Amino acid sequence: MPTLKEISGRPEILAPGHRMCAGCGAPVVVRQIMKALREDEHVVVGNATGCLEVSTTIYPFTSWRCSWIHNAFENAAATLSGVEAAYRSLKRQGKVKAEFKFIAFGGDGGTYDIGLQSLSGAMERGHKMVYVCYDNGAYMNTGIQRSSATPLGADTTTSPVGKVIPGKTRPRKDLTEIMAAHNIPYVAQVAPSHWNDLVTKVRKALDADGPAFINALAPCPRGWRYDSADTIEMCRLAVETCFWPLYEVVDGKVKVTVKPREKKPVRAFLEAQGRFKHLFEPQNERIIDEIQAIVDAKWANLLARSEQA
């Protein structure tokens, strides 16, 4: 496991001065992920349309100090898989000597939803690349519309709280488990509050002999409605309540990598965000119990599978 001193001295591939919102979790996730690269490694980044793409590459400027490709919302994984295939061909021909890694970034809209077919295809074909989803739980770039990553009960512009519905009526999709079902070498869930866990997992993903998937929690102050200074605290609460468990799946074997000393009730995570404010009204508190039941069942399942492994 790398030390803080070691990773803090590594180059910044995502330069400062970008226009991501104050407190946005996405650039924190990106910076930590890039710290897992070794000094002798080059990287090609593919970036799906979204907050990260539009805010780091406002023409004619870019914050990316590496090879970087943007194309449509739905096909970042397909594009980067093509680049990886071309690299392998050039390497065999002796035309490229340097070592390259390939990392795709997409938000939950471009990963859970619009880009799922592209991602699934790239993973199934076995391309040696890492796909990172920065999960902020909605289509934040276009107006905070709900995605399939949006939690049950969340207030968004397309699942608005009112007399008809009390926020999103369906639980969130478990994309991490969907990716694990592809039987790829490495899958992990991370949060920037636990930087050493994150960097260690990304290094494993980069070293995997085949495709890897990282699901990273990336809180959004605007969409979640909390003070922008509290982003890391939001991540800690998500981990400590087991709303966002930290685990990895290595060649099909599950390992829980962080176990909270004291598992907090999910209310602690929900009450810190304005998007769940309505759940604390008497007529909606049943939804908190439903969310807690989902969290408890998921956590128990992960622990059981981790112990078996």
| 215-266 tens-digit pLDDT | 999 999 999 999 999 999 999 999 999 999 999 999 999 999 999 999 999 9
Helix ranges, the chain (H): 4-8, 25-34, 51-56, 76-92, 108, 116-125, 175-180, 195-207, 221-224, 231-240, 267-270, 285-308
Tokens of 85: 């295939």
Q: Does the residue 127 lie in any domain? A: yes
HEC string of 171-240 equals CCCCHHHHHHCCCCCEEEEECCCCHHHHHHHHHHHHHCCCCEEEEEECCCHHHHCCCHHHHHHHHHHHHH
Name the band, by pLDDT with cuts 50, 70 and 90, for residue 3. Answer: confident
Whether residue 210 is predicted with pLDDT greater than 90 in this model: the reply is yes
Q: Does the residue 275 lie in any domain? A: no
What is the biggest distance separating any 2 CA atoms in the chain, rounded to whole angstroms?
A: 68
For the chain, the domain total comes to: 1
Name the band, by pLDDT with cuts 50, 70 and 90, for residue 9. Answer: confident
The answer to whether the peptide bond before residue 185 is cis (omega within 30 degrees of 0) is no
Query: What's the mean pLDDT in 48-52?
Result: 96
Q: What angle do CA 7, 14, 58 make, to 5 degrees?
A: 170
Q: Does the residue 221 lie in any domain? A: yes
Q: Does the residue 292 lie in any domain? A: no
3-state secondary structure of 292: helix
Name the band, by pLDDT with cuts 50, 70 and 90, for residue 5. Answer: confident
Pairing of strands 247-250, 212-217: unpaired
Q: Does the residue 19 lie in any domain? A: yes
Range of the domain at 64: 4-230+245-258
**pLDDT per residue over 70-94, tens digit each?**
989 999 999 999 999 999 999 999 9
Q: Does the residue 289 lie in any domain? A: no
CATH of the domain at 31: 3.40.50.970
- Could you say which DSSP state residue 159 is in? B
Chain CA centroid to CA 219, Å: 10
Share of the chain above pLDDT 90, in %: 94
Q: Does the residue 174 lie in any domain? A: yes
Share of the chain above pLDDT 70, in %: 99
Name the band, by pLDDT with cuts 50, 70 and 90, for residue 309. Answer: low
Whether residue 1 is predicted with pLDDT greater than 80 in this model: the reply is no
Whether residue 33 is predicted with pLDDT greater than 80 in this model: the reply is yes
pTM above 0.85, yes or no: yes
Name the band, by pLDDT with cuts 50, 70 and 90, for residue 279. Answer: very high
Chain CA centroid to CA 6, Å: 24
Mean pLDDT, the chain, as a whole number? 96
Whether residue 2 is predicted with pLDDT greater than 90 in this model: the reply is no
**pLDDT per residue over 106-149, tens digit each?**
999 999 999 999 999 999 999 999 999 999 999 999 999 999 99
The pLDDT of residue 194: 97
Q: Does the residue 298 lie in any domain? A: no
